[in-house]
Each structure stands twice: as structure tokens, then as C-alpha cells.
Amino acid sequence: MSRPLLEVRNLRVEYATASGLVRAIDDVSLTLHPGEILGIAGESGSGKSTLAQAILRVLPPPAIITGGAVEFEGRDLLGLDESELRALRWSRISMVFQGAMDALNPVITVGEQILDTLRAHARMEPTVARNRALELLRMVGLPNDCLSSHAHQLSGGMRQRVGIALALALHPALVILDEPTTALDVIVEREILEGVRALQQKLGFAVLFITHDLARMLEVSDRVAIFYGGRVAEVGTADQVRRSPAHPYTQGLLRAFPSLHGDPGRLASIPGAPPTLRNPPPGCRFHPRCPVAVEACRISAPPMIEVAPSHRAACHLAASESPGDR
Ligand code: ATP
Ligand code: SF4
């Protein structure tokens, strides 16, 4: 396998609040390879956005990175200064977030915004820049006349496509999509995600795709990581996690989401609430909600157990599959 594009090792991020420290990311390790789509799913508050912001080093105060390492293209991102980070953002790593469609500048045209992004990072002749802007619009399925439109003249889906065009403007190696389609209806969401997938296959960038929609994530991603209470509960290929989820939380999530192709009969929710990260339960953080918890789960945190090649789960009861099970 290729050398990882992104390697997150034992990352810790804490929010220093008036009522104490909230450890939003606790000892998280993940890898992402060039050209791969890694999906991150988990309930609200499990730490998904904090992870994305920590990778890009755009964490809002009072969040601080208190441990671990983030390596991108062999460089230690946590050791870079602000000017080195500015040079990296957009050109090597870009991000589209849920509110990106509302973040467009309302007083200048879409074309001017794309040209501003191109000019800020690369010297380009005006004609070359304009042609690149038109190419970007075409890539995300928008007509040429969007170049002269203002944000308020576009639908939410069109604005989010502009956000994706901006993210791809400088040929990044990694695009972070943080709930990019959550505010859109399912048909527009599907079209946009299929478009991103097609572009990713054509242009070869890697994607970190964050969502709380497990079914959508399994459809779009090559590999997936399931977050619970600021930790990785399970990681594997989309196929492994869909067919043989090893962590009881993933099993619950899969039951809680209807499959993309219908079957609402499978819908069931996971009883209980996600853990508070200011004072998480001891042992396995899922134990208060886990239907198969044993005594050890209340006492010690489970290690990551390899259940199959490239498939791991943090559960005391996870067992390696025999080759015949694969
Ligand atoms: P969602 O799907 O709702 O966006 P998420 O999985 O992305 O949730 P984060 O937004 O990363 O989760 O938040 C992780 C945890 O960090 C939360 O449970 C909360 O306890 C804590 N947190 C997030 N933002 C702040 C903040 N500004 N101040 C204090 N704690 C915060
Ligand atoms: Fe359930 Fe125990 Fe596994 Fe946690 S370690 S998921 S509580 S069985």
C-alpha cells in the first residue's frame, strides 16, 4: 500500500471551559492514503468536526491540541507556523463545511470569488484565470453564467457547488468535507456527492468525509471510521463495516439508519444518550448503552483489536474472524 497522505497519531484535543476540560478528541489515530475517501461517522458531539478543525489547525478557542501528531505529505502539521499553514491551506488541503454555502461573499460575484482564490495563491494571466474559473464551474456542474451571479441568486445546492469549486481550485491533495450536504434535500445531496466522487476518481484527490449519516457514508467512502465519545470505535473498509460490523455501537447505528434503498423496517434507535466528554464513563465509554456489556467493560478501556486485515474495533468482545468468515 502507498505511503499515507495523512497520518493522525494519538491525537488529543481539549476545550478548556469554565466548568472544566472537555476532551473532545481522545487518543485518535487514523490514516488516509492518496486518492482515498475516508468517511467519519458518529452521533452529534462525538468529535468529528473537532478532528477536521484540528487537522487544518483552525480550531476555535477554547480548543487546544494537547497531544499527538498530525503528519501530512510527510510534514508535521502541528509544528508549522501560521505562514506555513496559510501556504498549505487551499493549495494542499481544502475544506467544505456545512455552512460553506452561507460563507460566500454576498457583494461580489461568484467569478470574482473564484478569481480571488486563484490570484491569492498562484500568479495567473487574467485569461488563464478566467478559463480556470469556467473549468471549475463546469467540473461541479454549474453553467458558465454563474460566473456573473451573486450568491443570493443561487440555490443552496448551487452555492454548495461553488464551495466545492473553490475547494478544488488549487488542485489540493486532500479535501475535507464536513457535513457538506446536510442542509440540502436528499436529491441535491445525492447529485452533489456523486459529482464529488466522480471528480475524486478523475483528479485523484483524497477526501475526509464527515457525516452523521452512516448509510450515505458507507455508499460514498472506501474506508470508514466510526467515532464514539471522542474516540475511534471501529475502522475498516466500507464493505467490512457494512457486512460485518464488529463494534456493538456500529451494529446499533446500522440498525438505526434505514438502508439507502429503503427498508424502513430496520429503523431502530440506540437507547440512551452519548457520553458527556467532561466526565465520560470509566472503562468503555459505550458500556452504559451497550446491550452485551460485561464486567470488564465498566473497568478498563478496550484496546483496538484487529478483527480482520484493515478492520479493527475497540471492544473487549471483538474477536478475530476466522478466514472462513471473511
Ligand atoms: P456534530 O455532528 O453535532 O457537528 P461533532 O461530532 O462534529 O458533532 P464536535 O463539534 O467536534 O462534534 O464536538 C465534540 C465535543 O466537543 C462536543 O461533545 C462538546 O462536548 C465539545 N465542544 C465542541 N465545541 C465546544 C466549545 N466551543 N466549547 C466547549 N466544548 C465544545
Ligand atoms: Fe460493549 Fe464492552 Fe465492547 Fe464496550 S467493550 S462495546 S461495553 S462489549
pLDDT digits (tens, 9 = 90+) for 230-261: 999 999 999 999 999 999 999 999 988 765 54
Name the percent of the chain lying above pLDDT 90: 71
- When pLDDT is averaged across residues 170-185 and rounded to a whole number, the result is 88
Give the Å distances, CA to CA, from 295 to 66, 298, 300.
31, 6, 9
Q: Distance, CA 308 to ligand 1 centroid (Å)?
A: 31
Question: What are 208's three cell numbers?
Answer: 475526509
Q: Parallel, antiparallel, or unpaired for β 206-211 and 223-228?
A: unpaired
Q: Is the pLDDT of residue 325 over 50?
A: no
Dihedral (C-alpha) 313, 15, 32, 273: value to the nearest 10 degrees?
Answer: 40
pLDDT on residue 320: 61
- When pLDDT is averaged across residues 38-55 and rounded to a whole number, the result is 94
pLDDT on residue 326: 41
- When pLDDT is averaged across residues 2-7 and rounded to a whole number, the result is 92
- When pLDDT is averaged across residues 109-135 and rounded to a whole number, the result is 90
pLDDT digits (tens, 9 = 90+) for 314-324: 999 997 654 44
Q: What confidence category does residue 2 fall into, taking pLDDT thresholds of 50, 70 and 90?
A: confident
pLDDT digits (tens, 9 = 90+) for 258-307: 655 455 444 457 889 999 999 999 999 999 999 999 999 999 999 999 99
- Three-state DSSP state, 44: coil
pLDDT on residue 259: 54
Q: Distance, CA 241 to ligand 2 centroid (Å)?
A: 17
pLDDT on residue 321: 59
Question: What are 27's three cell numbers?
Answer: 487518543
Q: What confidence category does residue 62 fall into, taking pLDDT thresholds of 50, 70 and 90?
A: very high
pLDDT on residue 258: 62
Q: Is the pLDDT of residue 30 over 90?
A: yes
Name the percent of the chain lying above pLDDT 70: 94
The single residue listed with the C-alpha cell 478559463 is: 131
> In 33-91, where does DSSP find H-type helix?
48-56, 82-88
Please tell me which residue, 98 or 191, carries the higher pLDDT value.
191
Q: Is the pLDDT of residue 1 over 80?
A: no
- When pLDDT is averaged across residues 70-87 and rounded to a whole number, the result is 95
* Average pLDDT taken over every residue of the chain: 90
- When pLDDT is averaged across residues 37-59 and rounded to a whole number, the result is 94
Q: Going by CA atoms, what residue is nearest to atom 30 of ligand 1?
A: 15
Q: Which residues line ligand 2 (CB under 6 A)?
A: 247-248, 284, 286-287, 290, 292-293, 297, 302, 315-317
Q: What is the pTM of this model?
A: 0.91
248's CB contacts (< 8 A; 6+ apart) are 286, 290, 291, 292, 315, 317
Q: Distance, CA 277 to ligand 1 centroid (Å)?
A: 9
- When pLDDT is averaged across residues 207-220 and rounded to a whole number, the result is 90
277 lines ligand 1 (CB under 6 A): yes
Q: Which atom of ligand 1 is nearest to the CA of 277?
A: 20
| Greatest C-alpha distance within the chain | 68
